[in-house]
Every structure is written in C-alpha cells, then in structure tokens.
Structure 1
Amino acid sequence: MPAVVLYFHLHQPLRLKPFSLFDLSTTTADLNEAFAPVNQPILHKVAAKCYRPANQMMLDLIRDFPDFKLSYSISGTLVEQLSAYEPDIIFQLQQLAASGRVEFLDETYYHSLASLFSPKEFFRQVSLHRQMIRELFNQEPKAFRNTELIYNNQLAETVAQMGYQTILAEGVERYLWWRSPNFIYQPPGLPQLKLLLKNYRLSDDIAFRFSNRDWSGFPVTADKYAHWLSALNGSAQVVNLFMDYETLGEHQWDDTGIFEFFRHLPAAVYRHPDNRFLTVSEASEAFPIMDTVDIPEITSWADLERDVTAWLGNPLQQQASAALYALESPVYQAGDQNLIKFWQQLTTSDHFYYMCTKWFADGDVHKYFSPNNSPLDAYTYFMNVLHALRLKLYANQTTSPLEANSYQLITGIPAHDYRYSSAL
C-alpha cells in the first residue's frame, strides 16, 4: 500500500455583523464593532464538537500507534480566537506538535486571497504565519498550503523563492490528464519544490460523502476504507487525504460515526503489509519526483469547478475584492497598526465566499456556511464595513464641507471631526 498522508486544515473566520450605514457612528469609533457577536458562540460550539475531541483522539492515536503521523495547518484568525476564548485547544495542539509526529504547514495568516491580488500582502501574511508557527509550536515550516489550496505555476515559483520545499494543490484532472494524484510531482522548472496533490475522491469520501445514505459506498468503515487504500498498491507512492479538520464532529456529526472511523483507521491500515502514515514533508522526502505537472491557470479545492469562482465568480465578489485591495496602499501609508490589522481581517476569503450566487449542490454548501440571509446581504454588509474603514482612514486629512456634512448626517459625528481626501 502507498504511504498515507493525512492532512487537516483548521480555520474559523471573523464574521461580520449585519452592518448598515446607521452603524457608522459607533463603528468608526471602534472598527471591531463590525464583527458579529455570534463569532464566540460558534467557536465554542466547534471547539466542543470538533477541536477538543478530535485533538484528544489524535493524541490517543499517537500514543497507541508509534508510527502514526499527520499534518495540520491553522489560520492566524482561528489562533487568535482560540487564544482568547478556548486556550485549552491551543495547548492540545502544542502537545501534538511536541510529539514529534505532527507537522504544521504554513499558509496566509488571515486565510486570504492575497496571492491573487497583492504579492506584497501575500508575503506579509505568510511571514506573520511563519512567525506564529515558530512561537506556538516550535517548528520551522518546510511545506506550504495556500488558502483553499489555490495554486498555479506562478504561485509555485513564488513559494519556491520563499524557501519552501513542498506545496499542496488539488489533484485537478484537467491538468493531470492520464496521471494519478498518487505520486510526487514538481512544477515546471522547479525541481527543488515537490508538489503533493490531493486525492479528492478518497478525501471527499470522508469529508462530504461519509454520512450520505444514498451513496453506493455507504457506510464507510475503517476496514472498508483501508481496503480501498490497499487496492492502490503497486500503482501509487502516496495517497494524500486533505480535508478540513471541522469534518470531524462539525461537518460530519459525532452520531455519523466519524470519530469511531478515525479511531479505527490506523489499526485497519496497519493490518495491510508495508503500510505507513507520513507527514507532508516526510512523504515529499521519501519518494522521487515522478513527473512535471503544468498548471498555468488557477485551481483550488472548492466546488465542482475547482477554480476561484467560489470567491470571485460574480460581480458582487469582484467589486468587493477590488474595493478592498484598492485600500491596501492607503492603509499601510497611514501607518496605524489597528487599521492595518482590521484591513487584513477583511481580506479573509470567507467574506467573499458568502457572496457566492451559485446554484445546486455548490450553492447549498455556500448557504450552509454563510451567516447571512443572502449573497446580496453579505456584499452589502461588507461594503458598508469597508466604508467605515475609509472614513476612519481619512479622518485626519483635509476637510471638504460637502463630504463633512454628509458624514455628519449619516453618523451623527460633528462635521469638524471628519476630514476629506481627494483620494476617495
């Protein structure tokens, strides 16, 4: 059987509250008022249903199976929330890191689309994330996963220049052609960078189809799944099982048997000869490069298209993202660290995901994750919050009477407290 690479991603966004122009008077004083009160209860629920029991289960598996290994990545947005409200989860993750059998990968700190809009911001957020992994888990990441596995040749070149040795991507068939995702590849012209591709069929059997009673593979037991893995023996180096950590207990509830499945999976895998679990970097180092995979266009692990239309597929998303990144230079030029952090928090990809207007199965997934009643609501709240940031950003510049009076009418803040910039 090929080596099994089990990789989980952990992330929770800071959702925005239903934000109207009438909220400007309070939010321009404290931009953090733009975030929804539901963020803390949602985090508490996910910690109880997923993070806490899943972490304990992985610690138990590491104790019981000396060769069991896995890999994680975690957004800075989630780490900040856990540190504030669920610090025991951070301690569990530190225990996993200290075991020596868990690898933490790098990504963008704010789970952003910066790689598509701003090389400078992409570098800033990856650097922030690398520093966080060093400080929290005492690891120097050698592998990188971009937000939502967004990937193309250009990103691979950037990541290689940043010193990473491995990058993850979706095993998109339109670029693999006849090849299998179950081998180690390289991007064009970058033999120093290994490319690990997600086996989306076997990954999604767990992440999406596990509890689907209409699926021909239902029910999935550990023994059955290990048999599927062993069927690849002789025709694969690795099987890359990449999924959200929230699959355990949150997307697939406890009563589906998801925890029991993972508790028994290592034993079932080890019953087959020559089986092993490897971390991302161990798999990258264990096998030679099989071929070059050329992916000139942008791919991701989202939706049926496996592209970026989940975040940038309609005019609402395109306008909102353009407006956000148009503020990048003014925000950094202002030099206010609070404004910079708030702007970076708005770069989180989830804000644009909630604006998606797709139909059918993909549309249902977007609706499931969105805290808003509609994509238009998500767009409206985001743009109103962005306007609050603009008002705060330009508060110390030259006053325009017309703009100042309009500002006072909307916010109730005296006109002399508003400053106008022609940059608007």
Structure 2
Amino acid sequence: MIQICLIFQVHQPFRLRNFHFFEIGGRYPYFDEEKNAKIIRQVAENSYLPTNRLLQDLIKSYGTKIKIGLAISGCALDQMEAYFPEVLESFQQLVATGNVELLGQTYSGSLSSVKDASLFADEVSDHKKRLFTLFRKRPKTFFNTGLVYSDKIGKLIADQGFKAAVIEGATPIFEGRNLNRIYESTTAPPLKLLLRNTSLSDDIAFRFARHDWSEWPLTSEKYIGWLKQLSPDDQTVTLAMDYATFGEHHKKETGIFDFLQYLLENLVQENNFKLCPPQSALKTGKKEEKLQVPNAISWSGIQKNLSAWENNELQIEAIERVYALKNDLKLINDKELSRNWEYLKSADHFLYMDEKNGGNPYENAYDAFLKYMNVLSDLELKVKNKVKAKSATVEKKHRKKHGRRQKIEST
C-alpha cells in the first residue's frame, strides 16, 4: 500500500505601507492594515473557508480515512486573529476533528535557519507556543520556510525536538534516488525526511488551470491513474503545496474544489492507497536509507537553493541589516519593536527584491528594496535611540550607586 502524505502550507506575510523616506524618525505605522485585512479576508473567503468546509464534510463522511497535514505560520495566525477571527475558528474546528497534524515552522516564515541558530530556536519556540495556545497541539514534523534544508539545518531542527522534516525532492543531489520514500538524516539525533514529490505536487499547485498544459484538463481519475503507475518500491508520496491553491490561485470556476473532493474520495475508496499525515507515514517499520545534504536546498526557483532570496546585492544587504538588529532588540526588550522586527524577517520581503521571482506586488525589485529599507531604517533608528536611553539609565544608576558608596566610605 502506498501512503499519500498531503501537506498544505498556510502563510500570509504582513504587507508594508508605502513608507516614505521623509517618514523615517516619525511615528508612522510600518504595515498596511487595510491591505492586510483585505487580502486575508479575500483569501479566506475564496480558499481557506471553503476548503476547510470541504475537508470537514469529507471527514464526517469517511472518518479517519481523511487525514492531512497543515503548516500554518505565525504571521497567518496573527492576521486571522486580528482581521478575520471566523477563519481562525474554522481552522480550529478542522484541527479539532483529530484528522489534522499541525507542522512546526519559524514564526514569520523567516530565513533564520541559515542566518542564526539561536534566533531559529527562539522563533520555532514562539511558533510552538502559538500553536499550543490556539489548537492545544504540539508539532513533531517541521516545515521550514521554502523547505530550506541542509545537514546543518537538520541538526537544528532535531535539536528542537522534531522527529521529521519535509524537504524538496527535485534537486540535483537527489538525482537517481526514489523520491517516494522516507529517508533519514546523517546528523544526530537522526531526523526522518519526507521528500516532496515536486512533479505531482506542482501538477495541482501550478499546472491545474493551465490550458496550454498537455495534460489539461486534469481530473481526479487521471491523477489517480498516475499514482497507480508508481512502482512497488514507492512507499510514501509526499504532496506539499500552498493551501491557497484551492480557490485563490485556481479559482472555483476552474473546478479545483471538485477535483480535490473527488481525488480524496477516490483515494479512500482505493485499496492501494492510504492518506497519512507525516507522523503516521513514518510508522512503516522499514529501515530508512541515510540522506546527505551538504549544501542548502529549497523548493524555490529553478536552482532549488537559496538564490531566490540571496541572488543580488539588494537582497543580501536587506537580510544582513535586519538580522543585525538581534542583539540590540534583546537588550532593550521592547515588545512592539520586536514584533515589527519579527514580521520584517518574513522571507517574502526578500523574494520581491529580485526580478526573476514572480508575484511581486511592487513596481519592480528596486522599488521593493526601497520601501523595505525605509521601514527598516526607521526601525534601526528607534532601536538605536532605545539602546542609548537604556545605556544612559544604566549609567545614571551606576553613578548614583557609586556616589552612595563613596558617601558611606567617607563617613
């Protein structure tokens, strides 16, 4: 029997205001509240709510035969709670069925796993706490930003108590390997690795509504036919994609909801397949082959590495400067500034700074860089002023204490 591990990512970055250079040093908000509220409501009404309802209906009909994984970022949860609580309640109801495994992430979908190990641990811990507060669940499988992974990152993930991680399968270093198996990291403690089947995932996520695709229209019968062609050596097929695939990226009129419903119904009625969330998929009882990943890979771009975020000087400068604020922010311990910093670390901001990446909401990559750096410059200034004020307070206390000591000694 082949296990089908279906995992959906739910993420929404906080979009920036058109923050002008002359606003630096003032008291202006960084994020576009109106746009963020509009987008989360639009995506929720088009995608999240109808997909949640569809899955809940299927769970009522088929019980434990319908099981999936959900990776919901802290940014997405914060926006749901702030702008559209009904959709958060819908996710809570879906998770409460017991048929959904929640996956761990960095809080804001950041690149901390490749930038700062201690910061990565803090962000993952914050995300865990958020999941427990809202869902009373503790994740055991990790879904990193852009599925970024290497042996070094695998060690960081395992050190946070995770038993498995989802990683990208379509990379040159895996050429010749069976992607539809569960592997084990070479690091200690060992981490189980589920390799995303890129072709089968992207057939739904990107090609479903493309009329110029040779396989269009894609039906559930055709898709299951492809699954039936898998070899006996295939144990676990990991399908990972954005949850907004359903209803937002592919509109309702394309038939995407009917496709999902019929696909899941047909899968549970087939004897050769079983829908399994990650942790259930790991219980095969078979010995896993070791998988070595010396350099970072991801699911982004053609090269499937870090180039989607670190391809040019604009991206590199923005990333270096935002992460450089870590120590000062810890020193001043300002909740509002730290929260804004967290949202500014979302990797989406850096994607927009390279022309080769699609989906840019700005005029061009340089415009994305300027808008981001205006905000970051204002944050840097506020942090710098807070550090100065704190240092002055400490110095004042030190002088006062030293003065008292001298007075006592003189008497």
TM > 0.5: yes
Q: Are 1:12 and 2:12 an aligned pair?
A: yes
Residue in structure 2 matching 1:377, options 361, 364, 367: 367
2-side partners of 1:133 and 1:333: how far apart? 27
Residue in structure 1 matching 2:320, options 319, 322, 329: 322
Q: In the alignment, what sits opposite 1:402?
A: none
Q: In the alignment, what sits opposite 2:252?
A: 254
Q: In the alignment, what sits opposite 1:304?
A: 302
Residue in structure 2 matching 1:29, options 3, 21, 27: 27
- Deviation per CA, 1:4-27, whole angstroms, max 9, x where unpaired? 1100000011011222212225xx
1-side partners of 2:151 and 2:387: how far apart? 42
**Where do 1:12-411 residues align within 5 Å?**
12-24=12-24, 28-30=26-28, 32-35=29-32, 37-66=34-63, 67-190=65-188, 192-358=190-356, 363=357, 366=358, 369-396=359-386
1-side partners of 2:126 and 2:157: how far apart? 15
1-side partners of 2:160 and 2:89: how far apart? 29
Query: In the comparison of the two structures, how many residue pairs are matched?
Result: 388
Offset at 1:190? 4.1
Aligned residues of 2:166 and 2:196 also touching (Cα < 8 A)? yes
Offset at 1:274? 3.1
The secondary structure found in structure 2 opposite 1:310 is coil
Residue 12 of structure 2 aligns with an amino acid whose one-letter code is: Q
Offset at 1:34? 4.2
Aligned residues of 2:16 and 2:32 also touching (Cα < 8 A)? yes
- Deviation per CA, 1:103-125, whole angstroms, max 9, x where unpaired? 00000011111111111211111
5+ residue gaps, structure 1: 400-424
1-side partners of 2:388 and 2:192: how far apart? 52
1-side partners of 2:307 and 2:33: how far apart? 26
5+ residue gaps, structure 2: 390-411
1-side partners of 2:259 and 2:31: how far apart? 40
The secondary structure found in structure 2 opposite 1:276 is strand
Residue 226 of structure 1 aligns with an amino acid whose one-letter code is: I
1-side partners of 2:386 and 2:270: how far apart? 68
TM value normalised by structure 2:
0.91
Distance 1:272 1:331, change over 3 A: same
Residue 373 of structure 2 aligns with an amino acid whose one-letter code is: M
Residue 12 of structure 1 aligns with an amino acid whose one-letter code is: Q
% identical aligned pairs = 35
The secondary structure found in structure 1 opposite 2:127 is helix
2-side partners of 1:371 and 1:121: how far apart? 28
1-side partners of 2:240 and 2:321: how far apart? 32
TM value normalised by structure 1:
0.88
Over the residues paired in the alignment, what is the CA RMSD in angstroms?
A: 1.6
Offset at 1:35? 3.5
Aligned residues of 2:103 and 2:139 also touching (Cα < 8 A)? yes
